[in-house]
Amino acid sequence: MSLLKQIDTARLPSHIAIIMDGNGRWARQRGMDRIFGHQQGVKALREIIEASAELKIKFLTVYAFSTENWGRPDEEVSALMGIMVQSLNKETDTLIKNNIRLTAIGDTERLASDVKERLLETINVTSDATGLNLVVAMSYSSRWEITEAAKRIGAEISRGSVDPGSVNEFNFEKYLTTHGVPAPELMIRTSGEMRISNFLLWQLAYTELYFTEILWPDFGKVELYKAIIEFQKRERRFGKTSEQLLDK
């Protein structure tokens, strides 16, 4: 039986988040520079977006560029910005054609002007799409996001528009950049690294984590299917016991 046929379409995760890791190592293994790995990583992303849309996954969040990535060599950062612009130029029509909506989270004010302009254009022209919601984390870190949320709440408390005693985990969430997006049910990280790397720390509280040795440029539909099949084998208790789940 093919992997695709092993997937229970009635129990698909509605939101998958991915840390796309390993582009540089993939390139070095082939005697190429890191930029070549990032270019191949774009091809892998295209395949995963396509597969997610085919499965009718509702949300796909990908970690494209972290705030820590600004500390990489200038030539690599510049090349990454260029790849982002090229990708947006090339893929916007495909997103529209496939009814995919693009949104972005992160400190996008730090992005180069041409990247920010092209990103906003694509977000605007896909805003009416009703299929897959593709969320790209660019210049993003979870500590930055939580800090910014705390600042906004603090400002509202100072103005007297929010009672400090009313702040709880539910209304705090509306100050996050992911407000309106459900928490991921499955988070995938490629390349064998087993850490979250400052990605969606608040949102991943009860997310199922899946780590694979596969480097991102080699992560295709088959690998996505494997991750989903593993997800469907797990019992999600959210702090309850297995017996409580059976009593439902």
Residue at 151: amino acid letter: K
Task: Please give the Cα distance from 232 to 226 (Å, whole number).
Answer: 10
Q: Is 23 marked active-site?
A: no
> What is the DSSP secondary-structure string of 96-151?
HHTT-EEEEES-GGGS-HHHHHHHHHHHHHTTT--S-EEEEEEEE-HHHHHHHHHH
Distance of CA 193 to the CA centre of its chain: 17
Query: Reading across the β-sheet that carries 15-19, which strands appear in turn?
Result: 101-105, 133-140, 59-66, 15-19, 186-189, 208-211
Strand extents, DSSP E, the chain: 15-19, 59-66, 101-105, 133-140, 186-189, 208-211
Closest alpha carbon to 135 in 77, 183, 194: 183
Closest alpha carbon to 122 in 148, 106, 137, 104: 104
- Kindly name the residue from 8, 23, 69, 74 that is annotated as catalytic: 69
- Kindly name the residue from 8, 21, 33, 168 that is annotated as catalytic: 21
Which SS3 state, helix, strand or coil, does residue 223 take? Answer: helix
Residue at 223: amino acid letter: E
Q: Is 33 marked active-site?
A: no
The residues annotated as belonging to the active site are 21, 69
